[in-house]
């Protein structure tokens, strides 16, 4: 097939794919017999549309995200859909929902999965149980979350909410802090639900600092898999995705967020590590992801 591989140029403060990841994914797709044309999406929008129309791809292998707005992850898939182009991953509507942490949790809770109690704050802070964690409601990749995001006093809560709102004025989510292990479950259409992967790190939260030094461990846990299956179904994720949880010291599974556009970087990647448990190589997982875009 003629495939356009769309991606963002890395820049400070954003969790975009590296040139090495783009090169390796391009090589994996060419190895499968596809003609691959990488397209960096920072072009002016009219130029990007002209480029896509000129390339006329049979499929867009999408890694790109918008850089502003509440539903930025949905921007490029919405553009492809408007242009009549098939793309990998979930629809723009699913990506839009999943970037709203509070809305995502309400949907998953309705499917019978435990979520932390929380409230979106844009101004006055209501009385809340502490400890709590403060995070941007419309962000992913741990953006805006640090060790200081976990607060144990009212004074700290007010200070951190004010600082976070100044940077992310669309709203911050203040929710119960759940102590425990961070665990992720991936899913790829055609491969199925992948084994849970535990992130081994220090500190109270799995923030961007910890993401640079953590280790991963594939684990067996039926309760996490059942919760993940409910979350993927409730949110309508298609193609592939990753559900994130905290598992308390008592073994209770608590849903944190859904990433319908997870990283496909080859280093320390939970999807590839879990797929290896099924005997699947990274290239085979990429082949399954591109196949899902054809339906």
Other C-beta atoms lying within 10 Å of the C-beta of residue 17: 18
Cα(104)–Cα(98) distance, integer angstroms: 6
- Placement of tokens 């991963």 in the chain: 216
- Placement of tokens 């992801």 in the chain: 289
Chain CA centroid to CA 71, Å: 13
CATH superfamily of the 97-113+179-292 domain:
ATP-grasp fold, B domain (3.30.470.20)
In tens, the pLDDT along 189-201 reads 999 999 999 998 8
| CATH code at 118-176 | 3.30.1490.20
Q: Is 202 exposed, middle or buried (0-12, 13-18, 19+ CB in 10 A)?
A: exposed
pTM over 0.75: yes
Low-confidence ranges of the chain (pLDDT < 50): none
Domain ranges of the chain: 2-88, 97-113+179-292, 118-176
| CATH code at 2-88 | 3.40.50.20
pLDDT, residue 206, reads 75
Cα(58)–Cα(257) distance, integer angstroms: 31
* φ, ψ at 221 (rounded to 5°): -160, 105
CA 133-202-252 angle, to 5 degrees, is 60
pLDDT, residue 210, reads 66
Tokens of 118: 């929380």
In tens, the pLDDT along 155-203 reads 999 999 999 999 999 999 999 999 999 999 999 999 999 999 999 888 8
Cα(33)–Cα(37) distance, integer angstroms: 13
- Placement of tokens 């741990």 in the chain: 142
CA neighbor of 5 nearest in space, from 73, 111, 88: 88
Alpha-helix runs per DSSP H in 5-44: 19-31
- Placement of tokens 């309508």 in the chain: 236
pLDDT, residue 281, reads 94
């Amino acid at each position: 097939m003629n495939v356009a591989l769309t991606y963002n140029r890395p820049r400070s403060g954003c969790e975009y794919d590296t040139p090495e990841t783009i090169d390796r994914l391009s090589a994996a797709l060419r190895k499968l017999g596809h003609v691959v044309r990488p397209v960096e999406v920072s072009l002016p929008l009219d130029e990007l549309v002209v480029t896509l129309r000129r390339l006329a791809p049979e499929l867009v292998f999408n890694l790109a995200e918008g850089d502003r707005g509440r539903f930025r992850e949905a921007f490029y898939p919405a553009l492809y859909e408007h242009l009549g182009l098939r793309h990998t991953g979930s629809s723009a509507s699913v990506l839009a929902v999943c970037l709203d942490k509070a809305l995502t949790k309400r949907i998953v809770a309705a499917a019978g999965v435990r979520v932390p109690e929380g409230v979106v704050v844009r101004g006055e802070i209501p009385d809340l149980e502490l400890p709590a964690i403060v995070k941007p409601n419309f962000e992913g990749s741990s953006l805006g979350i640090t060790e200081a995001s976990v607060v144990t006093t009212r004074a700290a809560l007010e200070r951190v909410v004010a600082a976070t709102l100044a940077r992310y004025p669309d709203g911050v989510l203040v929710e119960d802090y759940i102590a425990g292990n961070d665990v992720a479950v991936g899913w790829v259409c055609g491969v199925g639900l992948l084994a849970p992967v535990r992130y081994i790190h220090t500190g109270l939260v799995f923030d961007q600092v910890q993401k640079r030094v953590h280790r991963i461990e594939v684990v067996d846990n039926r309760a996490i898999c059942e919760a993940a299956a409910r979350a993927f179904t409730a949110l309508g994720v298609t193609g592939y995705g990753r559900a994130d949880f905290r598992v308390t010291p008592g073994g209770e599974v608590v849903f944190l967020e859904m990433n319908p556009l997870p990283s496909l970087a080859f280093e320390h990647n939970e999807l590839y590590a879990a797929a290896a448990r099924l005997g699947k190589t990274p290239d085979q997982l990429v082949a399954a992801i591109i196949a899902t875009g054809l339906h």
